[in-house]
Structure 1
Amino acid sequence: MKPITQQFFTDLEKKLWTAADKLRSNLDAAVYKHIVLGLIFLKYVSDAFEERQRELREQFTHPEHDYTMDPDQYGGAGTQEYEENIAAELEVRDYYTEKNVFWVPVEARWQTLRDCAQLPPKAPLPWNKPGKDEPEEMRSVGWLIDNAMEAIERENARLKNVLNKDFARVQLDSSKLAGLIGHFSDTDFASREYKGQPLDLKSKDILGHVYEYFLGQFALAEGKKGGQYYTPKAIVTLIVEMLQPFKGRVYDPAMGSGGFFVQSEEFVERHAGQIKNGKNGKRDISVYGQESNPTTWRLAAMNMAIRGIDFNFGSGHADTLLNDLHPDLRADFVMANPPFNMKEWWNEKLSQDPRWIVGTPPQGNANFAWLQHMLHHLAPTGSMALLLANGSMSSNTNNEGEIRKRLVEDDYVECMVALPGQLFTNTQIPACIWFLTRDKCNGFALNKKKRDRRGEFLFIDARQMGYMKDRVLRDFTANDIQKIADTFHAWQQGEGYEDIPGFCHCAKLDEIRKHEHVLTPGRYVGAAEQEDDGEPFSEKMQRLTKQLADQFAQSAKLEAEIRKNLVGLGHEVTLP
């Protein structure tokens, strides 16, 4: 990202979050999250509509364009009849839908909403007939927003039951909602320059970035609950960079707000020039997902709509393990971050489920249920990545050890990555990433053929990587992600890979059998080599012993001074 683009986003984030955060004192984070993200979505669809409208107006008035309206037929350019006909033509729905732009009726357009939010209490709404009586609740800004959401859903089948329409029910003063609309209105989401420098951004890029930023901020504000819908972007990026979902069907059975789909789409756009299949890499993937939480399901659907990503999330929210909405799907790439160690998941109807390819999962822990569900949905040459608690790599409780043994012996496991702690907002449980595939002797990574990897397993220990972004959360740098992904790809392709003590190791099946099929990377990568500083051991020991003695002496001197000062103040003190 260019420095000016980064500065633009940083300033925009700060401005919008400051405005939205004013609601925190009035509403719980889980509630005002949907208020703010709903308004961001409304602003996006309206901006996209107006952007298309400006394009059409230019085309109607351009003498050499196919859509040109001959002014001579309407009394000449600038006449009332000419302008009225252009205005009528701008309201033709097909001009928008042909470009995959959502049709936004008058009452749902941002300018209309902004104007109505500022109307005097008794002023009629502009789309109603003069003199028509309006119930008092129609004067609230919450009702106006709900009415806009309903109108958009009614006019766009893809958004049916997707948008939040509870603004009027939220106990929030209309003036606060009107103020938030005003703050969002003052922001130009179609900026082409910033501080005198050009920006190569579309409104979709800006709104998408803002949406993702807000999701992250809300996840931090909600703590444990926030982790149910938001996986830290660095982890999502790492998995996508390793799997490289460049073409085909992408599936997330525990999709949350859809982060894996967003990163997959961005990956394809970045690498479109390297992909020979198809003229437009963006259309080379299709996304499928499922989510059990109804409000989170809506967040994901709005997230896709903001970015113009076609999606199949089923008809609504549903429990993936108990009610699979995509039973016939065989995906090329499957990625997920399901709840760790989920206990309450079992139902007797699952006892003979065909998804249990390598053994029935324990009833008190869903980790291997998620893993096998994903494996079941893989295409013959598909690949998958799954975030799980570290216990999944070594536990022998309730058949888990036998399931892991079968996964290894049947050669499904490709790579194991141990992650550092403190990466998640919602849990301190140490985590790892499982990479599995149905076919280790075929496949492509972008345009490069993967080598035959049967009987080989890659272990990566990334526990010492990353940095503390604040007092409680760790994050990966771009270089960290690149190093891990490059190591994985070099191993897959057989080009430039070598074991690095303390970081990565390629193990054969016999080696894993010796460890009784435990897949913890630390057992295989060994310890990092220590650099020889050239100082003889005896001299180093003598130097360090003297240094320790000096520190002990200094500590005793400081303790005596503290005792003396405290006694002088009339305090009796006993130091350990």
Structure 2
Amino acid sequence: MAKKKTTKQPARQPSKDKKSGGKSIEESLWDAANKLRGSIEPSEYKHVVLGLIFLKFANDKFEERRKDLLAEGKEKYLEMKDFYNMKNVFFLSETSRWNYIIKNAKQDDIALKIDTALNQIEKNNPSLKGALPDNYFSRLGLDKSKLASLLDTINKIDTQKDKSQDIVGRVYEYFLSNFALAEGKGKGEFYTPKSIVNLIAEMIEPYKGIIYDPACGSGGMFVQSIKFIESHHGSKQEISIYGQEYTNTTYKLAKMNLAIRGISANLGEKAADTFSNDQHKDLKADYIMANPPFNQKDWRGQQELIDDPRWMGYEVPPKSNANYAWILNMVSKLSHDGVAGFILANGALSGGGEEYKIRRKLVENNLVEAIVILPRSMFYTTDISVTVWILNKNKKTHTRSIGDEERQYRDREEEVLFMDLRQIGEPFEKKFIQFSPKHIQDIAETYHNWQQAMTDYKDIPEYCYSATKADIEKKDFSLVPSKYIEFVNRDENVDFDTKMSALQTEITDLLSQEEESKGDLLKVFKELGYAIEV
């Protein structure tokens, strides 16, 4: 496979709706909702809009089931929630139904009525416990006329019109993505860009068994796992989903996101910290997909978690950075044949101290299967390049079925595949990069050909290299891809650690000069008789 250069194709857009002047349903709804937002922050407003979309979806499913009961001559069961839940349909009491909300859309207490409706839906459907927005509509003091207009806009969505198109799933995904963009750098951590999630799913192939995400955000990893299964004609009944999320509002987003797609999941009893309150202590997962917080500081107290069983004889991860705590948490949750695909900041690829010792043991224990460096500007919250790690507890020869295909994986136990994807991708929303479906297919194919020791796998300069454990030992257990992949179009190979050290020194010098200049300026003003408070 030849190295792919960055293409200039436009990003793929949602399918268009002729009735809305060429705009997709998602785009039209987003434009309408955004105009009505006013001064409310996107981080707050997303719960309002997504809560209403969920309410409309739940109502449409409810009304469809209600019509089926009438057609079957079961009028006496119309108000019995068991006859809805048995078909994975949420039961809605009369004041929780969409037509009741629309009839009262212009009333002064409409915000309270919506909050009450969402609260009643949670009470009537145990699987939604802790999922829906809690008093957002009353608390935010939404303008009554704007709220009525938003309700009218959402009322135009027929979520059951074309089930093959997953209209509500498309709308929800589009809104999650756009709210992440709107919240910008330092926020929007609830969302991992879709093309990255798709890449991980295509590489680790979560076809059947238990899937776990210890920092599940809005549940995107789970959604794409199910899509992978469906695209390979599998059954989501053969998958069990477990996750955990620290932030309460994001926990609600995840539960809603999964509920509208009919995906059952155990996300724990409540939002909770994975380290201090592990809600899946005895879990052994066949697949782990995760995008944990990067370089998380002070994740444990001075003496807390020193003897945690998740460290399994490895060194205790440093308090100053949780990257390796996330890694060991995931390793401890893998089943005998389990595979994990997760994202970390590039700094985890090298470094000393406890991190070095843990990284060395991971390599020596043959757990590291692939290290894949991604392009910059793929995330909405940071423009740094990050890395996909793939850990595999069964790198030895084995056979595995994916759909109708049976694959023979040969012995790669003593090797690690390094991939550099920094020159691959297409523009998205002007300043971001994403992988196209073709990119994802090609990258995953390279990885699977390597796994199976196929004759058409070969090391490609500036793209991929299969390193032996001896190679990695010679590099003192650094996992920086540029230490292994050949770069033929450069005068010299770039040493990541050296470059970062030089950059760190340069930035320190610039900050020092800035501080010195500021002092000189203040001194001049003082000599002129003008004091400046800093």
The bucket for the TM-score relative to the shorter chain is 0.7 to 0.9
Shift of 1:498: 1.8
Q: Does 1:56 align with 2:105?
A: no
Q: Distance in 1 between matches of 2:158 and 2:172?
A: 15
Matching residue of 1:465 = 424
Q: Distance in 1 between matches of 2:27 and 2:428?
A: 17
Q: Does 1:524 align with 2:493?
A: no
Among 60, 67, 82, which residue is 1:94 paired with? 82
Structure 2: 5+ residue runs without aligned partners?
Answer: 1-11, 491-534
Shift of 1:494: 2.3
CA distance 1:221–1:529, change in 2 (3 Å): closer
Q: Distance in 1 between matches of 2:488 and 2:342?
A: 27
Matching residue of 1:175 = 145
Aligned-partner SS, 2:311: coil
One-letter amino acid matched to 2:94: V
Q: Distance in 2 between matches of 1:449 and 1:331?
A: 22
Matching residue of 1:368 = 324
Q: Distance in 2 between matches of 1:337 and 1:161?
A: 23
Q: Distance in 2 between matches of 1:29 and 1:211?
A: 15
Q: Is the CA contact 2:14–2:26 (under 8 Å) kept in the aligned structure 1?
A: no
TM-score, length of structure 2 as denominator length? 0.84
Q: Distance in 1 between matches of 2:226 and 2:364?
A: 34
CA distance 1:4–1:502, change in 2 (3 Å): closer
Q: Is the CA contact 2:400–2:408 (under 8 Å) kept in the aligned structure 1?
A: yes
- Provide Cα deviations, 1:124-143, integer angstroms capped at 9, x if missing partner: xxxxxxxxxxxxxxx41110
One-letter amino acid matched to 1:180: L
Shift of 1:95: 2.6
Q: Is the CA contact 1:337–1:387 (under 8 Å) kept in the aligned structure 2?
A: yes
Matching residue of 1:334 = 288
Matching residue of 2:255 = 301
Matching residue of 1:408 = 363
Among 497, 500, 523, which residue is 2:460 paired with? 500
Shift of 1:225: 4.4
Matching residue of 2:3 = none
Matching residue of 1:451 = 410
Matching residue of 2:157 = 187
Q: Distance in 2 between matches of 1:356 and 1:486?
A: 33
Q: Distance in 2 between matches of 1:43 and 1:343?
A: 41
Matching residue of 1:568 = none
Matching residue of 1:108 = 96
Q: Distance in 2 between matches of 1:419 and 1:445?
A: 28
Matching residue of 1:201 = 164
Aligned-partner SS, 2:416: strand
One-letter amino acid matched to 2:238: D
Among 283, 298, 311, which residue is 1:344 paired with? 298
Q: Is the CA contact 2:26–2:170 (under 8 Å) kept in the aligned structure 1?
A: no
Q: Distance in 2 between matches of 1:521 and 1:165?
A: 46
One-letter amino acid matched to 2:412: R
Shift of 1:385: 1.0
Matching residue of 1:549 = none
Q: Does 1:164 align with 2:124?
A: no
Q: Distance in 2 between matches of 1:165 and 1:467?
A: 39
- Provide Cα deviations, 1:382-432, integer angstroms capped at 9, x if missing partner: 000120111111222x32222111111111100010111111111122200
Matching residue of 1:282 = 236
TM-score, length of structure 1 as denominator length? 0.78
- Provide Cα deviations, 1:469-498, integer angstroms capped at 9, x if missing partner: 244211111111111111111111223322
Q: Does 1:230 align with 2:230?
A: no
Matching residue of 2:528 = none
Structure having greater relative contact order (Cα 8 Å, sep ≥ 6)? 2
Aligned-partner SS, 2:337: strand
- Provide Cα deviations, 1:274-326, integer angstroms capped at 9, x if missing partner: x5xxxxx1211111010110000000001111111111011001111111110
**More displaced 10-residue stretch of structure 1: 517-526 or 259-268:** 517-526
**More displaced 10-residue stretch of structure 1: 245-254 or 487-496:** 487-496
Q: Distance in 2 between matches of 1:324 and 1:94?
A: 32
Aligned-partner SS, 1:113: helix
One-letter amino acid matched to 2:307: Q
Matching residue of 2:37 = 24
Matching residue of 1:46 = 59
Aligned-partner SS, 1:333: strand
Q: Distance in 2 between matches of 1:403 and 1:6?
A: 47
- Provide Cα deviations, 1:173-197, integer angstroms capped at 9, x if missing partner: 22211111111112222224xxxxx
Higher Rg: 1
Aligned-partner SS, 1:416: strand
Q: Does 1:146 align with 2:105?
A: no
Shift of 1:4: 12
One-letter amino acid matched to 1:241: E
One-letter amino acid matched to 2:156: D
Aligned-partner SS, 1:387: strand
Q: Is the CA contact 2:424–2:435 (under 8 Å) kept in the aligned structure 1?
A: yes
Aligned-partner SS, 2:304: helix
Superposition pairs of residues 65-84 of structure 1, within 5 angstroms = none
Q: Distance in 1 between matches of 2:401 and 2:417?
A: 17
Q: Is the CA contact 1:382–1:438 (under 8 Å) kept in the aligned structure 2?
A: yes
Aligned-partner SS, 1:497: coil
Q: Is the CA contact 1:220–1:226 (under 8 Å) kept in the aligned structure 2?
A: no
Structure 1: 5+ residue runs without aligned partners?
Answer: 61-66, 68-85, 120-138, 193-199, 276-280, 531-576
Identity among equivalent positions (%) equals 44
Matching residue of 1:155 = 124
Q: Distance in 1 between matches of 2:89 and 2:202?
A: 30
One-letter amino acid matched to 2:46: K
Superposition pairs of residues 519-558 of structure 1, within 5 angstroms = 519-528=479-488
One-letter amino acid matched to 1:11: S
Among 379, 391, 411, which residue is 2:347 paired with? 391
Among 28, 36, 56, which residue is 1:15 paired with? 28
Q: Distance in 1 between matches of 2:400 and 2:227?
A: 19
